[in-house]
Structure 1
Amino acid sequence: MTWTFTDDVDVFLDAAGPWLTSRPTENTVVLTVTAALRRHGPHSFGDHDPVLGWWRGADGEVAGTLIHTPPHPASLNGLAPEAVAPLMAARRLTRVNADRATAGAVAAHWPGHRVIEENRLYRLGELVPPSPAPGGRARAATAADRDMLLRWYAAFAVDIGSPAGRVERHARAVDERTAEGRLTLWEHDGVPVSMAGISLRIAGTARVAPVYTPPEHRGRGYAAAVTAEVSRAARSAGADEVVLFADLANPTSNGVYTRIGYRPVSDRLVVSAEGAGE
């Protein structure tokens, strides 16, 4: 039983890719992050090289992964309990994003800790469009929406407490998703009032993100409508599974997603060692 680490995404995927794609719902973030690293290089998410790791169990098979792209927390995925102590001995971690059990096992190695976020992973069951539907219609975002989308991306990052991102990263995401038809707007009386994006489809799974409605347009059903539309379109385009995450501290968004047909899969926590830099 051993951990192996690399900064080479191709080496990582050669070893762990089959395990990741056999569980695409639970590994949705790892799959999209590694796709971005392949597409845009090792500094897709920050100035530091990524750390990518996989754990092999007693049978020699991959049985869990780590992916760390600072300034984001290290993401731990599918770890068996016996993999945690060797990981903590091998790497200095101060923040992790992991399922509840793994997050608890990691936190047990810290003299103090605090839970920063609790997020729930949802999988789409039977899609239930909002009823009554809000006024307006969905349309694809275009290059003409770029300035507005950049403002919305920045505001969304603030809302979720995301690590401060460079303007160029938001610009890359907006430009790429707009060009590929992966950003959808809900428009009412000719005014965009909400947006939802969709990830690349990998191993048959697509993830809805981001979903954002400016404060002045909230409470009118626009987020539900635009999320339902991108979810429908993802299925129509061939996705076997459509998933998304919601912050458990936000009952409104969780209620929106369950009403349109999303069902809980698992919870993930972001846990920080006491005194760790944010």
Structure 2
Amino acid sequence: MDLEFFADPATFLDAAGDHLAAHPVLATVVATVASRAVAEIADGVAQDPRHWYVVARDGGVVTGVGMRTAPHGDRPAYLLPMPDEAARLLARAVHDRGEDLAAVNGALPATQVFADELGRLSGRTPEVWEHTRLHELGELVDPPPVPGTLRAATRDDLDVCRAWFTAFHVDADEQAGRAPGRAPIETFGDDDLLRRIDTGRIWLWEDGGEVVHLTGANAPAFGVARVGPVYTPRERRGRGYASAGVAGVSRIVLAQGVRACLFTDQANPTSNKIYAALGYRPVVDMVNVVLR
């Protein structure tokens, strides 16, 4: 078993592309992040020199991948499935590199194995913060109609997009009964949001001339596009806007000839019920772990 770290996302995709393509829904986060980074580099966008991608191999065969590219909080790592031995080897490598890694997200059991080993080495205690579940859309089921229409966000919507992308994470903790602020909150700079807007990756539901809901989606990678974030302000919830927005964006994704997937928080029964009703089906359980 051996590991190879990459700073360049294009080189990483050359090494891991076949592995990612074999399970494109499961690999959606890693594939999306690496592909977006390649596009940003081509556009002259500077990348954080601390970012890395890693490939685990056994006898030359790729058996797992991971990355540490998150720009927010403690910059959590993200792991896809890999053998327990590879997860422990990666934990030891991260520790030996002197990285102060305090959070990791990803597939079970690799993420938990990695966190347990890194906790042992660093003297920290792993604590599961959030259980998530990855879903793939089967046949889209149209929700009951609601007033209003879906439209693509424009640059004039930057302020509301910024506010709602941030509020999404805080409110998600609240809705799941977790105390906000204990886990890293993802932040989004204006340049990032404007790129998403300019490439048609943020949609808004407008009712009576007022924006009442946001649904985002990532650019397709290996034939899969991930829907999210999905946010409705508290005072507008319970009116069907989320179902309508996600259904509309999912339909746009399917029209591109790619598969649609999304994540849910297992502790939020409302969102899980909404997505199941639209035709999303569970694929794999994942976990977010912090090291205290």
Is this contact kept in 1: 2:81–2:109, CA < 8 A? no
List, as ranges, runs of 4+ consecutive aligned residues in structure 1 with deviation greater than 4 Å.
41-48
Is 1:258 aligned to 2:271, yes or no? no
Q: Quick one: distance in 1 between partners of 2:233 and 2:79?
A: 32
Q: Does 1:101 align with 2:109?
A: yes
Report the Cα offset of residue 32 of structure 1. Answer: 1.1
After TM superposition, give the deviation of residue 36 of structure 1 in Å: 2.4
CA contact (8 A) 1:153 1:170 kept: no
Quick one: which of 190, 195, 204 aligns to 1:171? 190
Q: CA RMSD, aligned part only?
A: 2.3
Please state how far the C-alpha of 1:113 moved relative to its aligned partner.
Answer: 1.7
1:1-278 map, 5 Å:
1-41=1-41, 49-58=50-59, 60-70=60-70, 71-92=74-95, 93-109=101-117, 110-111=119-120, 112-131=125-144, 133-160=145-172, 163-164=184-185, 169-239=188-258, 241-273=259-291, 275=292
SS of equivalent to 2:36: helix
> C-alpha separation between the residues in 1 aligned to 2:10 and 2:88?
26
Q: Distance in 1 between matches of 2:94 and 2:156?
A: 45
Structure 1, 226-235 or 45-54: larger mean CA deviation: 45-54
Which deviations, in whole Å up to 9, do the C-alpha atoms of 1:213-264 show, x marking residues without a partner? 111101111011000000011101211x100001112111111111111000
Deviations 1:40-79 (A, max 9, x none): 3499898552121100113x11110110024431111120
Say if 1:154 and 1:170, in contact at 8 Å, map to a contact too: no
Deviation at 1:165, TM superposition (A): 5.4
If the length of structure 1 is used for normalisation, what is the TM-score? Answer: 0.89
Is the 1:28–1:207 Cα contact (8 Å) retained in structure 2?
Answer: yes
Q: What amino acid is aligned across from residue 256 of structure 2 in structure 1?
A: A
Whole-angstrom distance in 1 between the partners of 2:251 and 2:24:
19
Corresponding letter in the other structure for 2:13? L
Count of paired positions: 269
Moved more, 42-51 or 77-86: 42-51
How much identity, in percent, do the aligned residues show? 39
Mapped to 2, the partners of 1:4 and 1:159 lie a distance apart of 38
Q: Which stretch shifts more, 102-111 or 81-90?
A: 102-111
Q: What stretches of structure 2 of length at least 5 have no aligned partner?
A: 96-100, 173-180
Shift of 1:81: 2.2
Worse overlay, 170-179 or 43-52:
43-52
Bigger mean CA offset, 196-205 vs 70-79 = 70-79
